[in-house]
Amino acid sequence: MVFRIFRCKESALNFQYLKCGAETYQFEVKPLGKSCQLCKSATPIVTLTTQSLKLCKGCFLRIQERRVLEAVKKYKMFGDEDKVGIFLSGGKDSSVLALLLKRLFPRLHLEGVYLNLGIGYYSNYVEEAVRRLCEKLQLPLTVYHLPVRDGFTIDDFVFTDFKDKVCSVCGTIKRYLFSRLAKELGLTVIATGHHLDDLLSTYLTLFFSGDFESIKRLVPVNPPFFPGQAKKVKPLFFIPEREIFYVAALEELPLEPCSCPHGEITPSKRMKQWLESLSQENRALKYQLLSVFLKKFIPMIKLDEVAETFNTCLKCGEYTSSPNQICGRCRRVALLERVSDRKLEFTMEEWDAISDKNDWLIFDVREKEDFLREHLEGAQFVPHSLLDDEKALYKFFKPYKNKRLLFYCYSGRLSYLFTLKLRKLSFKAYNLRIS
């Protein structure tokens, strides 16, 4: 659930990275031998995950740079005349992509874009990390503020039938915004941080579900689908995820220290864990699989020739292949128009201003000793471990189905998680922002 990259107090070079409980990486920078197996001089501090080479920082970083350079050249991802945009998420992948492209192509027109989707505490927090990253890399940044520009947030979808599929709506809206913003900013290429493990886990997930058409589209370069659209490229696709984390740690990139409250463990994340454990026995496995998919399997997939017709969306004017001429984004946004009250959070002042609180129950989700020391009048203690067990969570709150439930903690994050999870279970839950 938590995401952190931190330096331990005892050692200035101990990094840990946890994301949505599914991906955990640790990296302690310490000598792994006398000399690097490539340059034979500097001290090795990192092992390549796909070979058992122990390398110094310089040689390790040069290998990653070479992988990106080879990918860009081999697949002709962009040229001098292109305007390349990177949609920064605050995570390690897009941050490392920005760092490597900036370093390898200093004269390239490169810019960062951040989509602030208005997700609780999370979006603003990430925006700060992205701003620090762009400052460090001297990368121009455009911030698109969804609540300001479009009048809704991704969290608002917990009030719709998509409440259990917020990530799917978010994906549709992000893809739409990638296209729209690329046009607004005149970008000809969008570079994304998809890496080797992303690609392989998605290939395998799609393979097991028999969706060969989607596998065919999952290649290092996707040409524009609609006229005037930017080309999409994946310069990191030769790099294993763990090594991207090592680059982020060694380069001390400012990453976001928390995870999106909607993040879930998806089938593709489970596939990544499986792949990772198989690679422990065969370090070359990931590259073998990549080669099989790219060189053998994908060329064999024959798709039915369907003449792709597209129109412009009657609501927003963007291209769509939807037969009813309303694009996926506008269909989803229309659901929000039926929701009159989308309030999820109260400030202390707003809470104090509510005169009749008969209908309300207050829950304190801080540590028990803090609750026992002091708490808001009428508050009950709730252990935050309930968040890890949806059935137990539902059972605990079932008796209060008709009440309004107010949650608070120290920073408003844990209580926001309670609010969202219970909203998805159709409770009337709210967060109280104390700070």
What residues make contact with ligand SF4 under the rule CB under 6 A? Answer: 119, 154, 166-167, 170-171, 260, 262-263
| Residue 166 interacts with which of ligand SF4, Zn ion, none, CB < 5 to 8 Å by class | ligand SF4
Smaller CB separation from ligand SF4, 151 or 171: 171
Taking CA atoms, 130 is separated from 113, 193, 212, 332, in Å, by 9, 15, 35, 28
Residue 18 interacts with Zn ion (CB under 5 A)?
no
User: Least distance in Å: CB of 154 to ligand SF4?
Assistant: 5
Binder among 134, 313, 362, 432 for Zn ion (CB under 5 A): 313
Smaller CB separation from Zn ion, 212 or 319: 319
User: Least distance in Å: CB of 230 to ligand SF4?
Assistant: 20
CA 130 to chain centre: 13
> Cα(331)–Cα(413) distance, rounded to whole angstroms?
30
Backbone CA torsion sign across 162, 164, 166, 172: negative
> Cα(369)–Cα(363) distance, rounded to whole angstroms?
15
| Residue 378 interacts with which of ligand SF4, Zn ion, none, CB < 5 to 8 Å by class | none
User: Least distance in Å: CB of 316 to Zn ion?
Assistant: 3
Smaller CB separation from ligand SF4, 58 or 257: 257
Smaller CB separation from Zn ion, 21 or 328: 328
User: Least distance in Å: CB of 163 to ligand SF4?
Assistant: 12
| Residue 327 interacts with which of ligand SF4, Zn ion, none, CB < 5 to 8 Å by class | Zn ion
| Residue 313 interacts with which of ligand SF4, Zn ion, none, CB < 5 to 8 Å by class | Zn ion
**CA Rg, the chain, in Å?**
24
| Residue 234 interacts with which of Zn ion, ligand SF4, none, CB < 5 to 8 Å by class | none
Phi first, then psi, for residue 415 (nearest 5°) are: -65, -30
Give the footprint of Zn ion on residues 317-376 (CB under 5 A).
Answer: 327, 330
List contacts with Zn ion (CB under 5 A).
313, 315-316, 327, 330
